[in-house]
Structure 1
């Protein structure tokens, strides 16, 4: 089939490579311009560069729908459009233009985690599996009928970086397999159960701020979700920002005030956590490696030479 690709960053790059390696003909690639957004500078393999190396025409757009793009799409005459990590809404005059419509590939198990940063949100929320969905695009974002869906388990110490690499391996195969089903004439796709849908916003630096009222188990997942090269989860110590690179849930149960720098446990330092920490029924968060604002990374036991004082969510709050 003749395929137009709408894609961005490493997800789009990997999908485009799979299409180029397949029996299909890629007749046009549309991608976004480079971004300064912290999360969009991470996995940023260029769709435009890959397309150019294979003599595929490229158009760069922040949003689709202008007359030049519509004319180029009609001239390309695609049988199908494939969209991967496209960051803005694609209007009906585009997604319905090919005779087979548009296949969107999204890195979550829809209908859950539609929208942005699904792997990070899923890890923070303690999901047992993540995955990729290939679905037909319709008027609502990430809401179309499901063609294929593939899942991978979330390991007990997986980070978002681990989950990125696990799910990235699914993008090429699910796209090519989805196109094979479409080309066969199949249309009996699975309708999404919208009562189970959830939609998430883009993550920003604010979403990495540690709230010590969260239970230690949730904070452990937050730290793993904000693994390198993502912006790390952070807190403040004596007015200075401190990034948490590695942490885990404590073995012991510790009571007191959330944020208290309490005691050494093994090779780390326990911070009291949880809104009801005063009852002493719950675990703390063991910090193992931290990074200062000047980029120095060191064991928490080297950074916290003495116990006592507090970690806070903002620099202006009191802390010892």
Structure 2
């Protein structure tokens, strides 16, 4: 099939590479310009560079809503558009243009975690598995019929970076497998159960801020979700920003006020956590490694030279 690809960052790069390695013919690539957004500088393999290296024409757009692009797409005469990590709305006149419509590739197990940063949100929420879904695009974001979907398990110590590497390897088989089904003439696919749908916004620095009223189990997953190269989870100590690089749920249960720097346990320093911490039924978050506002990285047991005081949400 003649394929036009819309994509960005490493997800788009992997999708384009899979298409180039397949029997399908990539006739045009549409991608975004480089971004300074903290999350868009991560996993930033260039779709434009890969296309140009392989002699595929490239169009760069923030939004695909202008007449010039529409004419380029009509001239390309695609059988299908394949999109992965396209960051803005694609209008119906574009996604309905190809003979077989538009196939969107999304890094979640739809219908759950539509929208943005699905791996990070899924890890924070304790999901047992994550994956990649190829679905037909319609008027509602990430809501079209599922053509192919594959899942991988979330390990007990997995970071968001680990999950990225697990799921990015699914892009090629999911994308090409879906295209092969469409090329074979199949037109009926699995409808999404919209009662199970959830839709998440883009993450920002604010979403990495630690709220000590969360249960320790949730905070431990937040720290893993905000692993390098993502912006680290952070709190404030004595008015200065403190990044939490590694932490575990405490073995003991600790009572008091959320955010209290309380007790050395093993290789960590336990911080009281949970909105109902006053009951004494909660585990705490045992921080094991931190980074100071000045960029110094060190074990928490070295940073916290005395117990007492609080970690706070604001300076």
The answer, yes or no, to whether TM exceeds 0.5 is yes
Aligned to 1:78: 78
C-alpha separation in 1, matches of 2:50 and 2:191: 34
C-alpha separation in 2, matches of 1:240 and 1:65: 44
C-alpha separation in 2, matches of 1:298 and 1:42: 24
Cα drift, residue 278 of structure 1: 1.0
Aligned to 1:15: 15
C-alpha separation in 1, matches of 2:95 and 2:269: 53
Cα drift, residue 279 of structure 1: 1.1
Please say if 1:273 is aligned against 2:280: no
C-alpha separation in 2, matches of 1:311 and 1:252: 19
Q: Secondary structure at the match of 2:151?
A: strand
Aligned to 2:216: 216
Please say if 1:33 is aligned against 2:20: no
- Where in structure 2 are the equivalents of 1:65-214 lying within 5 Å? 65-214=65-214
C-alpha separation in 2, matches of 1:96 and 1:111: 21
Cα drift, residue 294 of structure 1: 1.9
Instruction: Could you tell me which runs of 5 or more consecutive residues in structure 2 were left unpaired when the two chains were aligned.
Output: none
C-alpha separation in 2, matches of 1:313 and 1:247: 17
Please say if 1:46 is aligned against 2:59: no
Cα drift, residue 296 of structure 1: 1.2
C-alpha separation in 1, matches of 2:98 and 2:163: 33
TM-score of the superposition, structure 2-length normalised?
A: 0.99
Q: Secondary structure at the match of 1:40?
A: coil
C-alpha separation in 2, matches of 1:208 and 1:161: 15
Aligned to 1:248: 248
Q: Secondary structure at the match of 1:59?
A: strand
What do the CA deviations read for 1:190-238 (whole angstroms, capped 9, x no partner)? 0111111110000000010001011100100111110110000000000
What do the CA deviations read for 1:120-164 (whole angstroms, capped 9, x no partner)? 111111110111100000111100000001000111111100000
C-alpha separation in 1, matches of 2:77 and 2:235: 53
Q: Secondary structure at the match of 1:42?
A: coil
- Where in structure 2 are the equivalents of 1:300-311 lying within 5 Å? 300-311=300-311
Instruction: Could you tell me which runs of 5 or more consecutive residues in structure 1 were left unpaired when the two chains were aligned.
Output: 316-320
Aligned to 2:62: 62
Cα drift, residue 30 of structure 1: 0.2
Cα drift, residue 165 of structure 1: 0.5
Cα drift, residue 293 of structure 1: 1.8
C-alpha separation in 1, matches of 2:228 and 2:212: 21
TM-score of the superposition, structure 1-length normalised?
A: 0.98
C-alpha separation in 1, matches of 2:229 and 2:123: 16
C-alpha separation in 2, matches of 1:104 and 1:232: 30
Q: What RMSD in Å do the two structures reach over aligned CA positions? A: 0.6
Q: Secondary structure at the match of 2:62?
A: coil
Aligned to 2:230: 230
What do the CA deviations read for 1:259-308 (whole angstroms, capped 9, x no partner)? 11111111110001011111111100000000112221110011111111
C-alpha separation in 1, matches of 2:248 and 2:54: 46
